[in-house]
């Protein structure tokens, strides 16, 4: 009988579990010394100047946009191929997301379309309108980094800030030239870079996120706003500091706990080990599915270090008698769990209602109907990989045109 395969299974070390137990026995559970250690260790790992641990990547992006003073009348370029949070934080601040199409091969933001959308915005020929364009928010889909040098050049030319949604991109890197140094997400690649430590991300704290930045002005504001706008966090007030504080601005409740940071510290230590385990699974998929003509596999150029958060297949529907949804249903019947990353934003009611149509974003409109994300996680067993490969291959054989 084929092996059932979950979409994801976390891999936590005994050391991480012991660290959580130590935290529980310490008497300090919320934001405290382990959060501070985690922030410092993460900043060092990505080569960032400043870091702030929060309870989600969404929180990190929301804080970044608040610090950048995004508000009504301002528009932000956001890829349509992303999770809801990237655009939602713009709307939470009263701003207007301008949806940008994707590169068909990677799913990443298409800078040529970003330029076209920016020009169309200036002409007033988009479904949405605002007073001025202020920023761009690239997303590294599945852990394949966008060329952030090109994004920065584009942003500088148009006077835009850059907030990088790196939820999938730790540890990941790119380089612009074959002999150039690798540049990681967060290594000065944006005004603010935001990471996710959700349960199925490349490293996890259960729920959690991190913002890093080269700008101390933004990070100072974000740190204050991450905990109710207080002038001092709880650790400073109760670890030898004075009890008093001031509310500087009405802030949010976005802080990470020491319990979560205890997990994160040990996940961080093993980040490259875990990435290599995911890469090994990706390599097996490439080796065993590469000759299946009905499939288009993820591209892996030599100028990228891929985090392999996701393994998104693209079905060649012209070579199959079934559509993507039927393909996924058939995999589910064999015990293989899958997902789709993603239904693009313009195909959701919240953005359809603003006037976005498939013809505004033709690449994403076409590619998302071909997407199937296969299980990929550290600790994935050989029999699980074989079960996925066998099920996918057999479906392609059965339903080939």
The DSSP secondary structure of 163-177, one letter per residue, reads EEE-TT-TT-EE-SS
Q: What is the mean pLDDT of residues 15-29?
A: 96
pLDDT at 246: 85
Question: Which two structure tokens, joined as six digits, stand for 178?
Answer: 């074959």
Is the pLDDT score of 37 beyond 60?
Answer: yes
Q: How far apart are CA 166 and CA 161, in angstroms?
A: 16
Yes or no: say if 122 and 98 are a contact pair by the CB < 8 Å rule: no
Yes or no: say if 306 and 300 are a contact pair by the CB < 8 Å rule: yes
pLDDT digits (tens, 9 = 90+) for 304-348: 999 999 999 999 999 999 999 999 999 999 999 999 999 999 999
CA 395 from chain centre, in angstroms, equals 30
Question: Which two structure tokens, joined as six digits, stand for 82?
Answer: 């992303």
Is the pLDDT score of 245 beyond 70?
Answer: yes
Residue 283, classed as helix, strand or coil, is helix
Residue 52: which of 255, 246, 217 has the closest Cα? 255
pLDDT digits (tens, 9 = 90+) for 79-132: 999 999 999 999 999 999 999 999 999 999 999 999 999 999 999 999 999 999
pLDDT at 240: 60
Residue 1 pLDDT class (50, 70, 90 cuts): low
Residue 311 CB neighbour total at 10 angstroms:
25
Is the pLDDT score of 241 beyond 80?
Answer: no
- What would the CATH number be for the domain defined by 271-398? 3.90.1150.10
pLDDT at 233: 61
Residue the block writes with tokens 């149509």: 357
Question: Which two structure tokens, joined as six digits, stand for 92?
Answer: 């939470």
The DSSP secondary structure of 341-392, one letter per residue, reads S---GGGSHHHHTTT--GGGSHHHHHHGGGEEEEP--TT--HHHHHHHHHHH
Percent above pLDDT 90 for the chain: 93
Residue 34 is a catalytic residue: no
Residue 211 pLDDT class (50, 70, 90 cuts): very high
pLDDT at 337: 98
Tell me the CATH class for 14-269.
alpha beta
pLDDT at 231: 80
Question: Which two structure tokens, joined as six digits, stand for 113?
Answer: 């379309």
pLDDT digits (tens, 9 = 90+) for 55-77: 999 999 999 999 999 999 999 99
Residue 237 pLDDT class (50, 70, 90 cuts): low
The residue annotated as part of the active site, out of 34, 36, 201, 236, is: 201
pLDDT digits (tens, 9 = 90+) for 149-203: 999 999 999 999 999 999 999 999 999 899 999 999 999 999 999 999 999 999 9
pLDDT, mean over the chain: 96
Which runs of consecutive H residues, i.e. helices, occur in 108-160? 111-123, 148-158
């Amino acid at each position: 009988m084929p092996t059932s395969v979950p979409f994801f299974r976390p891999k936590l070390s005994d050391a991480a579990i012991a660290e959580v137990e130590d935290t529980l026995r310490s008497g300090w559970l919320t934001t405290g010394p382990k959060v501070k250690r985690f922030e410092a260790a993460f900043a060092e790992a990505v080569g960032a100047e400043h870091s702030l641990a929060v309870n989600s990547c969404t929180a990190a992006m929301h804080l970044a946009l608040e610090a950048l003073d995004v508000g009504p009348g301002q528009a932000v370029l956001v890829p349509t191929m992303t999770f809801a949070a990237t655009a939602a934080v713009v709307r939470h601040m009263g701003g207007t997301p301008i949806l940008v199409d994707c590169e068909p091969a990677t799913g990443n933001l298409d800078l040529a379309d970003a330029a076209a959308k920016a020009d169309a915005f200036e002409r007033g020929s988009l479904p949405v309108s605002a007073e001025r364009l202020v920023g761009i928010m690239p997303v590294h889909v599945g852990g394949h980094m966008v060329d952030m040098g090109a994004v920065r050049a584009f942003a500088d030319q148009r006077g835009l800030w850059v907030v990088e949604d790196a939820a999938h991109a730790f540890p990941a890197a790119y380089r612009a030239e074959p002999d150039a140094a690798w540049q990681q997400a967060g290594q000065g690649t944006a005004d603010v870079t935001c990471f996710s430590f959700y349960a199925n991300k490349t490293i996890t704290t259960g729920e959690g996120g991190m913002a890093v930045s080269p700008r101390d002005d933004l990070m100072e504001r974000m740190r204050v706003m991450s905990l109710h706008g207080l002038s001092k966090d709880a650790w400073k007030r109760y670890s030898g500091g004075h009890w008093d504080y001031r509310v500087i601005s009405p802030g949010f409740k976005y802080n990470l706990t020491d319990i979560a940071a205890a997990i994160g510290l040990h996940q961080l230590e093993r980040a490259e080990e875990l990435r290599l385990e995911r890469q090994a699974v990706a390599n097996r998929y490439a080796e065993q599915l590469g000759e299946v003509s009905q499939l288009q596999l993820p591209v892996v150029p030599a100028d990228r270090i891929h985090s392999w958060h996701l393994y998104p297949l693209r079905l060649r529907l012209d070579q199959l008698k079934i559509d993507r949804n039927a393909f996924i249903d058939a995999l589910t019947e064999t015990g293989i769990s899958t997902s789709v990353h993603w239904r693009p934003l313009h195909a959701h009611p919240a953005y359809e209602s603003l006037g976005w149509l498939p013809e505004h974003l033709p690449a994403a409109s076409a590619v998302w109907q071909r997407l199937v994300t296969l299980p990929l996680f550290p600790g994935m067993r050989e029999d699980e990989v074989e079960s996925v490969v066998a099920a996918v291959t057999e479906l392609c054989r059965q339903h080939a045109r």
